[in-house]
A and B are shown apart, each in its own frame.
Chain A
Amino acid sequence: DAGITQSPRHKVTETGTPVTLRCHQTENHRYMYWYRQDPGHGLRLIHYSYGVKDTDKGEVSDGYSVSRSKTEDFLLTLESATSSQTSVYFCAIGTGYSNQPQHFGDGTRLSIL
């Protein structure tokens, strides 16, 4: 298994509270990604990073921010969680070559009440 750890694995929180999800890799890959998985939508890219302090938006970035201060860590923050952000969040890592597959962590199940 690719060395990707997501934490926490499960979280329940209330609307309006801030939430931070962490992704940690031991592969020294340049690229890191945050996706959310929802029924009927598959996996959708939220944000991605192409290096330390280098990030960019994906297709569903509204309401989310990210930070990458070290190669191995990529944080996803919901500044003020809403019920529509209830989802399963996956982190992925990649070399940056489009012909090499991204590898995924096991996900964080986030419920916002």
Chain B
Amino acid sequence: DQQVKQNSPSLSVQEGRISILNCDYTNSMFDYFLWYKKYPAEGPTFLISISSIKDKNEDGRFTVFLNKSAKHLSLHIVPSQPGDSAVYFCAASAESGTYKYIFGTGTRLKVLA
């Protein structure tokens, strides 16, 4: 059973508009959430994270929102740029002593110029 789900495999957005990527999770013990971005032939790179004690974290054009009651997080990119075209993975971690991440299946974002 997949504990972290990204239900949209792909998303296309016009340059300058907002991109919203979504992620749902099932395990209420998750207490730290991350977004990674991945370009072809490269490893995932860390983008932004949020602790479960917060509901929003912002870093430049990137904002992550966490709704614990709905077990849902989202990544907003404003404004979207062609260089943002990549696969985005959400991940979750629990303070269980194992320091392991559970990743979603990824969403491919294409920003159209």
Interface residues of chain A, those whose CB is within 8 Å of chain B, are 4, 31, 33, 35, 40-45, 48, 50, 56, 58, 90, 92, 94, 96-99, 101-107
Contacts and interface: CB of A to CB of B under 8 A. Distances in A.
Contacts, number: 58
A50 B99 contact: yes
28 contacts: A33-B100, A41-B105, A42-B6, A42-B104, A42-B106, A43-B44, A43-B101, A45-B101, A50-B99, A56-B98, A58-B100, A90-B43, A96-B99, A97-B99, A98-B94, A98-B95, A98-B99, A99-B32, A99-B49, A101-B34, A102-B46, A102-B101, A104-B36, A104-B43, A104-B44, A104-B45, A106-B41, A107-B43
B93 interface: yes
B103 interface: yes
Given A98-B94, A99-B49, A106-B41, A42 B100 contact: no
Contacts of B6: 42
B53 to A, nearest CB: 10
A44 B103 contact: yes
Interface string B81-107: 000000001010111001111011110
Given A56-B98, A58-B100, A101-B46, A43 B89 contact: yes
Using C-beta atoms within 8 Å of the partner chain, give the interface range for chain B.
20 to 34
Contacts of A33: 100
A105 B99 contact: no
Contact of B103 (A42, A50, A98, A105): A42
